[in-house]
Structure 1
Amino acid sequence: MFQRARRQILAGFFAIAATLGLAAAPAAQAQIPYLQLPAQQPKYASIVVDAESGEVLYAKRADSPRYPASITKVMTLYLLFEELAAGRMDLDDRIPFSTRAAAASPTKLYVKAGDSITVEEAMNALAIKSANDVAVAVAERLGGSEARFAALMTLRARELGMDSTTFVNASGLPDSRQVSSARDLAVLSRAIMRDFPQYYSLFARTQFSFRGTTIRGHNNLLGRVAGVDGLKTGYTNASGYNIAISGVRDNRRLIVVVLGGASTAARDNHAEDLLLTGFNVAGRRARGERITVAQNLFEPAPDGEILRPSREQGDADQDGLKIVLASAPPPPAATAPARKAEPGGKWQVQVGAFKSKGLAQDQLKLTRRRFGDAFAGAETMITDPSSGFYRARFTGMSEDKARAACEVLKAKRQACMVIDPA
C-alpha cells in the first residue's frame, strides 16, 4: 500500500513538473531521494529487458563487472534442466552428497555426507532455498567435480551470449574470479524461461517441503507484486543484495535485474519500481507517447540535469549505451538476410553447438550483431543434428578471413572453431 501511494504521489508530481516545464533540478531531486539512491551505490547495476524481443528498455552500468552471488544457481539449474530435457536424468534420480558438498557454507539443506536427495528435491532447494550444499552436489553429479561443472557453466554462458560471465563454482559463494553483469544475468533469465518453459514455474514457488519441514524462499516480490513469477535472489558481502525478477502484465513479460543493493528492502523496492515503471512506459508507448523508463523515474542525467521527454539517457559506464525505444525497429543486423558468400571461400567458423535449432539461430544472430565486420560476406548455416547437436556456423569464407574472424571472437572470450573444408 505504501509503495502504491508513493508512486501515485510521484506520478502526480511528474505530471505537474512536465506541464509547468520545471527546471529546478535540486528541488525536484530533494523530493525523490529514494529513486536516486540505488544508482549512487558503488556496487549498483540494473537492466530492464522485454523478455520476448530481448530489447533493453533501461540500463545502468549493465555491462560493468559484478559478483552474481546466488543468481549463479539459475545457470546451475539450466544445466540440470538440460539433462532432464535430454532424458539423461529423471526427477526421481538420486543426487549423492560428498564430504565436500556437505561441508558447504550456509545457506544449505544440511544433508549429511553419504546421504542423497532426488533431482526434484534438488531443484526446489536450489531455486527456493538457494542451498549451497545442493549446488555442490549437483555440480559433482553432473560434472564429476565442481571445477569441471563450473567450466561447463562458463561454456554454456558463452554459447548463450553471456560474454562478461565467468563461473568458478555452482553456488555463487564468494570468489573474486566469479563475475557477471546485469546484462548477462538478464540474458540467462530470458534463456531459462525460453528454453525450459516446462520447469520455469519452479521459480514462482515460495516454499517447499523437505523431510517433514516446510522451507520458505527468499524472493519477497512473489505474491507482493502482481504478475511476478520468478526468478532468483542473491547476496554476499562483496556483491551486495542482488535480484533477478520477471513479471507479466497485459501480455507483456519484462525481466529486471538489480545488483548491488544496499539492503533487501532497498533492492526489492527498486526492482519493483523498475518493473512497474517498465510496464507503465510500455503502456504509454502503446498509446503513442515517446517516453523512456529513465524519464518516467525522473532520473537525473550525469550532469545533474533533469531529463526532459525529448532526451534519451546514456551512461558513460556502458560506452554510450542508449535506452532503446520499445517502438523502435530491431537492429538491422539482427534481421538482415544472409549475405552472399565470398567467391571460392569454403572455410567455416563454428560459434557453438546446441540442443535446439532455435538456440543455434539465436547464437548466429547475436554473433552477427556483435561481430558483423568479422563476418562480412559470410553466409550462416546450421548443421544437421544427426550427432545430437545443431552446430551454428558461418561459411563461405577464405582461410585467412575465417582465422581472423575466430581471433576476433576469442579476444572477446567468445567460443569459436575454424573448420577446414578438407
Structure 2
Amino acid sequence: MSRGRVVIRNLIRQVAKRVRHSAAAIGVVVVAGVVLAQPGEAQARYAALVMDADTGTVLYAANADTRNYPASLTKMMTLYMTFEALDQGRLTLHQRLPVSRRAQGMAPSKLYLHAGETISVQNAVLALVTKSANDAAVVLAEALGGAEWKFARMMTERARALGMKRTTFRNASGLPNRHQLSTARDMATLSRALIYDFPEYYHYFSTTRFSYNGRAYGNHNNLLEEYRGTDGIKTGYIRASGFNLAASVVRQGRRLIAVVFGGRTARSRDQHIMALLDKGFAKARQLRTIPVVAPPPRKPVQILRTASKADEVKVAAAGSGVVPVPPARTGIQQADRTALRDKVARVVDGLPVPGYGRPEEVQVAARETSNAEGRYAVQVGAYRDAAPAHVAAVRAGNAVPQILGTSEVSVSRIRGDQGPLYRARLTGLDRTDAERACRALVAHGTDCLVIQPRGGVEVAFNAK
C-alpha cells in the first residue's frame, strides 16, 4: 500500500512538471512583476491605454481599438446618462425609483433589491460605483429609458455623440452579451467625459465605502487606497472579459486616465495598471503640455480679431506647432454652477463652409450656427480636435462661473481642405454678460470673441 502511494505521488509530480513546461511554451510576459498573457490566444482580450486627460495625448496603447467585452465598465455610461438626467432636472438625487421584477432578478453582483420597493437615485449611483450592483443599474435604466433595452439604445447613441465609435451597448449593467463590446480607447474617452462633463457628480467615483440597509459595501477599485492620487473610476469583470479597470489619477496638477482590459486576476490587473501609470507620469513629465497632437508641418491657429459682416475671422500663425489653449488646471474645480455642460455635443457638419487653405484667414459662414434661443455666446478658441475644444470651453466656464454659470458648452466644426477646426463656445448669454465674460477671461490670459445671436463675431478681446 505504501509502495502504491509512492508510485502515485511520482506520477503526480511528472504530470505537474509537464503542465509547468506547457505553460512556459504558451508564453507569458512579466510586466513590472505582474504576469499577463501575451495578446494572443484566449487573452486576445488584453488591451490597455494611458492618456493625459487634459490634452488627450495618448502615452501608451496596446490593442487600444480592439473590441472587447466591457463588463461592468458599462456602468460608467449608465452613470453618465444618470448624471445628465440630474443635470437637466429629469431626476433628483433624493428621488425614489421603483424596483421592478426584472431588476430583482438580475444576477450578482447586486444589492438584492425586492420588486415593489424603492431606492433613491443617490443610493443607486453609489451602489453602481462601489458594489457594482446590477439590480440598481436596471432600476436607473428603467427610470430613464422605460425598458432596459431601450435605455441600451440610448447609451449607444450617447456613446457615438461622445466619439466612442467602436462601442455598442446591449444592457445597463455589463452582464454577458456577445454584442456588447467596447475598446480601451472608447472607455478612456468615456472616463474623460465623466470627469469634465460632470465635475459635480464625478466625486461619487472616489467613494470607498457605501452602506445600505445595514450592510456596508467596499469599492472594488483598489487603487483608491493603494495608488496615490487615484480618484476613480470603475472596475469590471465577467469570465469572457477578464478583469477590467478604468482609473483616473491626479499628481502634481496632471491627470492621467488608464484603462486595462483582460487582466487574469484583479491583483495582476491592478499591478499592471499601476506600472503603466508610473511609466505614463514619467513620460508625461518629459513632454510639453499641448492641447492636441497635430501633424508636425501644421502651424497653430489662434483667433485674434474679426473683420466684417461676412464673419471673416483673422487668424495668425505662431511657431509652436500646436493650437494654444488656456493653462492646465490643477485638478477638477467644483464650480458653483448647475448647467455648464455639454448637454448635447452637436458638431455642425455638411454645411457649405469655405476651407482654411491659408494660415492667415478663416472664412466662417454667418448662417452656420445660431446661438441657443437667439442669444449671445463667447468663443475661447479654435482647435484641430473636438475634445480639447470641449475642455477649453469647460475651463473657461470654470474660470468665471459667476458669469458663465448658466451658459452651455457648444463645440461646432468648420470643414476645410486641410481638415476641420472645432470652435469652443459658451452659449445662452445676453450681450452684457458675453462682454463681461470676455473681459474676465482676458484677465485669466484667454483670448475671447463675443458672438452675435445670428453667429456673427461682434468684438474680439485679446489677452496680452
Q: How many Å apart are 1:384 and its aligned residue?
A: 2.5
Amino acid in structure 2 at the alignment position of 1:173: L
Matches for 1:227-306 after TM superposition, within 5 Å = 227-285=229-287
- In the alignment, the residues of structure 2 paired with residue 154 and residue 167 of structure 1 have an alpha-carbon distance, to the nearest angstrom, of 6
The residue number in structure 2 matching 1:190 is 192
Q: How many Å apart are 1:330 and its aligned residue?
A: 2.8
Count, aligned residues: 309
Matches for 1:20-169 after TM superposition, within 5 Å = 34=33, 37-40=36-39, 41-169=43-171
How does the TM-score come out when normalised to structure 2? 0.60
The residue number in structure 1 matching 2:388 is none
1:37 alignment partner, SS class: strand
Aligned-residue identity in percent: 44
User: What do you get for the CA RMSD once the two structures are aligned?
Assistant: 3.4
Q: How many Å apart are 1:357 and its aligned residue?
A: 7.0
State whether residues 161 and 363 of structure 1, in contact with CA within 8 Å, keep that contact through their aligned partners in structure 2: no
Unaligned ranges ≥5, structure 1 = 1-28, 287-325, 339-354, 398-422
- In the alignment, the residues of structure 2 paired with residue 219 and residue 243 of structure 1 have an alpha-carbon distance, to the nearest angstrom, of 8
Unaligned ranges ≥5, structure 2 = 1-27, 304-338, 357-362, 375-406, 417-464
Matches for 1:376-415 after TM superposition, within 5 Å = 381-386=368-373
Amino acid in structure 2 at the alignment position of 1:162: M
State whether residues 346 and 412 of structure 2, in contact with CA within 8 Å, keep that contact through their aligned partners in structure 1: no
- In the alignment, the residues of structure 2 paired with residue 66 and residue 330 of structure 1 have an alpha-carbon distance, to the nearest angstrom, of 26
Change in Cα spacing, 1:177 to 1:256, as seen in structure 2 (3 Å) is same
Amino acid in structure 1 at the alignment position of 2:226: R
The residue number in structure 1 matching 2:294 is 331
The residue number in structure 2 matching 1:224 is 226
- CA deviations on 1:165-190 (whole Å, 9 max, x unpaired) are 11110000000111110000000000
2:269 alignment partner, SS class: helix
- In the alignment, the residues of structure 2 paired with residue 396 and residue 223 of structure 1 have an alpha-carbon distance, to the nearest angstrom, of 46
- In the alignment, the residues of structure 1 paired with residue 63 and residue 169 of structure 2 have an alpha-carbon distance, to the nearest angstrom, of 20
Change in Cα spacing, 1:383 to 1:226, as seen in structure 2 (3 Å) is same
Change in Cα spacing, 1:31 to 1:255, as seen in structure 2 (3 Å) is closer
Q: How many Å apart are 1:213 and its aligned residue?
A: 1.4
Larger radius of gyration: 2
State whether residues 47 and 256 of structure 1, in contact with CA within 8 Å, keep that contact through their aligned partners in structure 2: yes
State whether residues 39 and 45 of structure 1, in contact with CA within 8 Å, keep that contact through their aligned partners in structure 2: no
Q: How many Å apart are 1:162 and its aligned residue?
A: 0.4
Q: How many Å apart are 1:375 and its aligned residue?
A: 9.3
Amino acid in structure 2 at the alignment position of 1:386: E
- In the alignment, the residues of structure 1 paired with residue 220 and residue 409 of structure 2 have an alpha-carbon distance, to the nearest angstrom, of 37
User: Which one has the bigger strand percentage?
Assistant: 2
- CA deviations on 1:300-331 (whole Å, 9 max, x unpaired) are xxxxxxxxxxxxxxxxxxxxxxxxxx679632
- CA deviations on 1:9-45 (whole Å, 9 max, x unpaired) are xxxxxxxxxxxxxxxxxxxx99868468355332100
Q: How many Å apart are 1:285 and its aligned residue?
A: 4.1
2:255 alignment partner, SS class: strand
1:57 alignment partner, SS class: strand
Change in Cα spacing, 1:175 to 1:273, as seen in structure 2 (3 Å) is same
Amino acid in structure 2 at the alignment position of 1:384: N
State whether residues 48 and 275 of structure 1, in contact with CA within 8 Å, keep that contact through their aligned partners in structure 2: yes
- CA deviations on 1:122-178 (whole Å, 9 max, x unpaired) are 010011110001111110011101111111111111110000011110000000111
Change in Cα spacing, 1:394 to 1:197, as seen in structure 2 (3 Å) is closer
**Structure showing greater relative contact order (alpha-carbon pairs closer than 8 Å, 6 or more residues apart):** 1
User: Which one has the bigger helix percentage?
Assistant: 1
